[in-house]
Every structure is written in C-alpha cells, then in structure tokens.
Amino acid sequence: MSANVLIIGGAGYIGSHLTYCLRQRGYRTFVYDNLSTGHRELVTGPFIYGDVLEPERLEDVFASHRIDVVIHLAAKSLVSESLAKPLFYYENNIGGTLNILKIMLQYGVDKILFSSTASVYGSPKQIPVTEDAPLKPDNVYGFTKLAIERMISDSSRIHGFSYFVLRYFNAAGADPEGNFGELHIPETHIIPRILDVALGEEDHIVVYGTDYDTPDGTCIRDYIHILDIVDAHIRAIEWLLEKKSDGTGLALNVGSGKGYSVLEVIKTAEKVTGKKIPIVEGDRRPGDPPRLVASYEKIKKILGWEPKYSDLETIIETAWNWHKGRRLEIFRPKRGSFTYTK
Ligand SMILES: NC(=O)c1ccc[n+]([C@@H]2O[C@H](COP(=O)([O-])OP(=O)(O)OC[C@H]3O[C@@H](n4cnc5c(N)ncnc54)[C@H](O)[C@@H]3O)[C@@H](O)[C@H]2O)c1
C-alpha cells in the first residue's frame, strides 16, 4: 500500500525504525521532530525540524503536503522527569497533541495512530494485562498519555476521524543490520544501561528493589522487539487506510506476553556479550509495579499480529550489535550537550 505518512517524533528510537521500514514498503514519509531527544542522523527521507508546540510551523507541513495519516510519537517520556516537571510534561505531551488534532481537522486529515504506553494501567492487579483493565496511571507521564487517549477518542466521535492507539510495553532491541537503535540521552531504559556496563562505560548497574513478590525479588517486565512494534504500526496503518473514517478507533496492547525479571535480563546480557555485569542493589523506585506483562490476544485477533522477534536473546543480541557499533558514532560527539529543561 502507498500513502503519505507524517511521522511526528520520527527522529527518536521507535520513529527512526518505523520511518525506515515504512519507506522500504513504499510509503512516502515526512518526519517532523524538534530533536529534543531524537537524532537527525537516524532520520530516513524528508525531515522537517519543528516543535508540536509551534502550531504555525506544523501547519506549514499540512499546507505543503497531502497527508493521509499522522503517526504521533512525539512525547517526553521519562517517568522521574515527569514527576519533577509536571507542567512541562502536560504542556509538551497534551498541549502538543491538541495542536496536532486541531490542525488535522483544519486540513481534513482524518486518520491518526498514537503511541501510548503500558503506564496507563499503573500497577495492574491482573497479569497478563488486558485492554479492559482499569486505567489508573501512577505517574505524570502515564496521565498525559491517558489524557491524550481520551482527547483522541472524544474528539474523533464528534469530528469523525479514525484512530488507532498502540499501548507499547517495554520497547527494546534494534535493527538487526545495526543502522538504527536506542539512544536516549540520558538513558534510563534497562537494556542499554546494562550494555553500557558491558561496554565499560559504566561500572555497574543498579537494581531498584530486590524484595518484590516475584521469584527472584526483582521487577518483571514485558520486552517487545522494535521490529515487532514496527510490524504492529504497519498493520494498524493498513487498517486505518482501508477503513472509512467513521469516528471510531481502537486502543490495543503491543507486548510479547512474556515477562523477564531484571536479574534474568542481566544474566542474558552476560551470556550475549560475554562480559560480567556487576550489580548494586538499590531501593525500590516509587510507582514501579512488580509485574507488567501484556496480553496480546486482542491485537492478534484484530490485526493478526504476533511477536516474532521478541525472545530475550534476540532482543539483546540486536541491541548489543547497535550499542557497540553505530550508536557510538552518534553518541560520543553529543555526550554532555543535551539539556532536558525548557
Ligand atoms: N520506548 C519505549 O519503551 C516506549 C514505551 C511506551 C511508549 N513509548 C512512547 O513511544 C513514543 C516514542 O518513544 P521513543 O522511545 O522512540 O522516544 P524518543 O524520545 O526516542 O522519541 C520521541 C521523539 O519525539 C520528539 N519530540 C518530543 N517532544 C517534541 C516536541 N515538542 N515537538 C516535536 N518533537 C518532539 C523527540 O525529539 C524524539 O525524537 C513516545 O511517545 C513514548 O512515550 C515508548
């Protein structure tokens, strides 16, 4: 299928893989990103530098190109930062989405795919988590995503556009060719942090909480390979493009259905890299649920999607290949040059 896709936040980890894969499939893409956490070097195809909080600049994109579908990945997504700077998060994530929706309406663009998160469930009682679990985020970041989900579904009913919300669990792994991968500065995600230790960039990894009610006492998470996430997006876009816009949409989990503890991830990383990863036991972090594992039954039923690349070894092998390879060319010159305040 061919269509014009605007990928807002397409210079980041997920967006850069997605843009590349969409272009491989013949989609025409435009990436719009303020590079606050993204990287110009990771963008394939046309790139427009801009902020979602600059409506005039964003409007220019819609005025100059026919857009068939918007993929909205642009967000601030660090839980601890969201607790320290709530207004910044509400402004960037919710305010930015408001601008996007208003401009889409103005230009008659009636399809949107939005990146949401398992954080909308907070600390779920039932594992695996299904989409009808209570939506009770326990941090500001999760609240912004839930508010956006509501903003999209409420306005689509009235204005008649179609939407798809994908609630990702822990995105992980990298392009098997090693050209794209995860590069958040600062990095808070566990697999790249462990790989920093394997590479000798850090001395140890801190394990936050070793007394949870789990078999080895550490938190259990659902890691989903980036290529599986990309596949879910492509299926969701095809669903949106085939469908007549009718003011309805779906919110579906994207997870592997398997859970690994922090210690299991560290052991697998030791095996893959052949390096010892020293650990330091730290306190629990507020708002960290003991287990977060997805049910993917609904997305399997609706889109025929199933995880194909999400076994832990494949995730860590592809992440390691990127981490010690191309990532360093991009990261080393930028180290220390990023600020996270506005
Ligand atoms: N990585 C994960 O495990 C994960 C899990 C669940 C949900 N998500 C969501 O997926 C999306 C992408 O995540 P990611 O890991 O690729 O993060 P990322 O930080 O690598 O990508 C986000 C991109 O959005 C851009 N951006 C942020 N604010 C912007 C603004 N005001 N205007 C324009 N561009 C802006 C950044 O520069 C960056 O390129 C985010 O919405 C995130 O909340 C990610």
Q: What distance in Å separates the CA atoms of residue 133 and residue 127, rounded to the nearest whole number?
A: 10
Annotate 187-206 with b (16+ C-beta within 10 A) or e (fewer).
Answer: bebbbbbbbbbbbeebeebe
Ligand 1 atom showing the smallest separation from residue 10 Cα: 39
pLDDT tens digits for range 229-261: 999 999 999 999 998 778 889 999 999 999 999
Maximum distance among all Cα pairs of the chain, rounded to whole angstroms? 56
pLDDT for position 185: 85
If you take atom 18 of ligand 1, which residue's CA is the nearest one?
A: 12
Stated pTM of the model? 0.96
Domain ranges of the chain: 4-334
Q: What distance in Å separates the CA atoms of residue 75 and residue 145, rounded to the nearest whole number?
A: 9
Calculate how far, in angstroms, residue 11's C-alpha sits from the geometric centre of ligand 1.
9
pLDDT tens digits for range 34-79: 999 999 999 999 999 999 999 999 999 999 999 999 999 999 999 8
Dihedral angle of Cα 204, 210, 216, 219, to the nearest 10 degrees: -90
Phi, psi (deg, nearest 5) at residue 265:
-65, -45
If you take atom 21 of ligand 1, which residue's CA is the nearest one?
A: 12
Percentage of residues of the chain with pLDDT beyond 70: 97
Ligand 1 atom showing the smallest separation from residue 50 Cα: 33
If you take atom 34 of ligand 1, which residue's CA is the nearest one?
A: 33
Residues known to be catalytic: 141
Q: Which CATH class is domain 4-334?
A: alpha beta
Pocket of ligand 1 (CB under 6 A): 9, 11-15, 33-38, 51-53, 73-77, 92, 96, 115, 117, 168, 170-171, 184
Are 181 and 20 in contact, with CB atoms under 8 Å apart?
A: no
CA distances from 289 to 116, 138, 218 (A): 18, 10, 10
pLDDT tens digits for range 76-113: 999 889 999 999 999 999 999 999 999 999 999 999 99
